[in-house]
Amino acid sequence: MAIPKVAIVGIGHSKYGKRGKLINEDIEGEKATYPAVTIRELAHESYFPALEHAGITNNDIKASVIGIAAEAFAGQGAAAALIADEVGIIGKPTMRVETACATGSTAIRTAWAQIASGQFDVMAAIGVETMTWVSTAYATELMSVAGDHRWEYPYGISFPTFYSLYAARKMAVDGLTRDQLSAVSVKSHYYGYYNKLAHLRRKVSIEDANQAVPIALPLRLYDCCLISDGAATVILANEEKAKEMSSDPLWITGLGCSSDTMRVTDRPNLTNLGGSVRAAEMAYKQSGRSPKDIDVAYVHDCFSVAEVMAYEDLGFCERGQGGKWAEERGPYIDGPGVPVNVDGGLKSKGHPLGATGIGQVVDAYKQVFGTAEKERQVPDAKVALCHNVGQHGQFVNVFILEP
C-alpha cells in the first residue's frame, strides 16, 4: 500500500550524558566541554540546529509534537508548553506524547500522521529528558511503575528484572550464552566510543562484561542501558515542501506500529517481542523492503538481550540464533550481516526516554548521507531501519528510511 510521502528535512542532537553538571571529555586527545543545562537548554541544543539544517525559521514550523516524561524526572508539568515557549513556537498547535521508552518514535509517528493527513506541511518532533537529576534508585522505581500496578509493580519487579526473565528464558530455550550477551555490549561500546554525542565513550572487553557487577542475573552492568539526559529533534515536511526545502530529504517509506499484553505472564513466550515482529512486518510491507535490503539498523537495546531478540524479530537472523549472530560479528560494519547500533545504541550512546527514538532517526540520517564519524560510518548505506520499544514490548514503532 502506497503511503503519503513525508520526509525528514532537518536534524538536531544534543550531547547525551549527565547533563546536570559540567562535562569535560578527553577522548584520545580530542577535548570537548559541555555545560550544565536544564530541560530548557537541552531543547535548544537539538531544536535550533535542526532548523538550521533544514534552512528554515520558526515561521515555517506549523505545529510540533514533543516527547517527554518531565513530571517524574524534572518536576515540570505541562512540559510541551514549556518547550514550545522556550524555543519560540508560541501560538501554534503543540502536543505531548508519551509511550514510555518509545516516546520519541511516537512523536515522529504523530507528526507524520498529521502531515500525511494534510493538516500541516512542516512540523517539528522534539524529544527531551533530564533523567539523572534524580537518584538511580528513584529513576528505576519511576520506570518500574510502568509494570502492571496490580500484579507486577507491587512485587518489586523492575525493568532489569523483566529483561532478566527474557535472558534466562533464551538461555534455557535457545542456548544463549553469557559470552554472546557480552559480545553485544562489546560491539555497542566499540561504536559508542567513536560517537562524539554518546554518554559513555568507553570500550569494554568480553571479560569486562562477563565479570561486571550483577544487576538482575543473568544481566550484569554492561548488559544494561544508561540513565541519561539528552535531546533530539527532527523537522518533517510533506512532499512538496521537502523537495522545496532540502536537496537531501530522508523519506519515511514504511511505518510499523504494534503492542503486546501489559502483563508479561500473558505473553505466549519470553523469547521474542510479538509487537516487534508485527511492527516490522508492517513497515517492510509498506516500504516494499525486506530484512535483506537494510543497510544499517538501530534497534532498542535497553538490555543486551533486547538487542539479541531484535535481531531475530526484525529478520536479520534465524529465530534462536541471535546470540550466535552477535558472537560471529553479524552486526558489525565489517561483519556478514546488517550493521546494528553503530551509534553505540542505548547501551553506550544513552537512553533519555523522550529523545531516544528521535535520536535513532537523527543518526540514521547521518549514516544515509555519509556524515557520521568515519570509524562508524557504514559504506554506501541507503536504507535504514529504526526500531524503538516502549516498556517491555507494550509499544513498538519501526521505521524504514530512504533517500
Chain CA centroid to CA 6, Å: 20
CB-CB contact of 86 with 40 (8 Å)? yes
> Using alpha carbons only, what angle is made at residue 297 by residues 294 and 303, rounded to the nearest 5 degrees?
145
At 224, give phi and psi (nearest 5°): -110, 140
Which residues pair with residue 127 across a beta bridge? Answer: 67, 232
Catalogue the long-range contacts made by 313-318 (C-beta closer than 8 Å, 24 or more residues apart): 313/272, 313/273, 313/276, 313/277, 313/280, 314/276, 314/280, 314/385, 314/387, 314/398, 315/280, 315/284, 315/290, 315/291, 316/291, 316/340
> Is 101 annotated as catalytic?
yes
> Is 149 annotated as catalytic?
no
Q: How far apart are CA 333 and CA 388, in angstroms?
A: 21
Quickly tell me which residue has 532548523 as its cell. Answer: 51
CB-CB contact of 401 with 250 (8 Å)? yes
Quickly tell me which residue has 514490548 as its cell. Answer: 393
Q: Which among 53, 300, 351, 387 is annotated as catalytic?
A: 351
HSE (side-chain half, CA atoms, 13 Å) at 252: 31
The closest of 182, 169, 166 to 326, measured between CA atoms, is 182
Q: How far apart are CA 289 and CA 296, in angstroms?
A: 13
DSSP string, 54-101: HT--GGG--EEEEE--HHHHH--SSHHHHHHHHHT-TTS-EEEE-BTB
Q: Which among 101, 224, 225, 257 is annotated as catalytic?
A: 101
What is the dihedral sign for C-alpha 5, 10, 15, 18? negative
DSSP string, 322-388: HHHHHHTTTTSTTSSS--B-TT-HHHHT---HHHHHHHHHHHHHHHHTT-S-GGGPPTT---EEEEE
Q: Give the start-end residues of each E strand in 146-249.
A: 214-216, 219-220, 229-238
Q: How far apart are CA 274 and CA 305, in angstroms?
A: 15
Residues serving a catalytic function are 101, 351
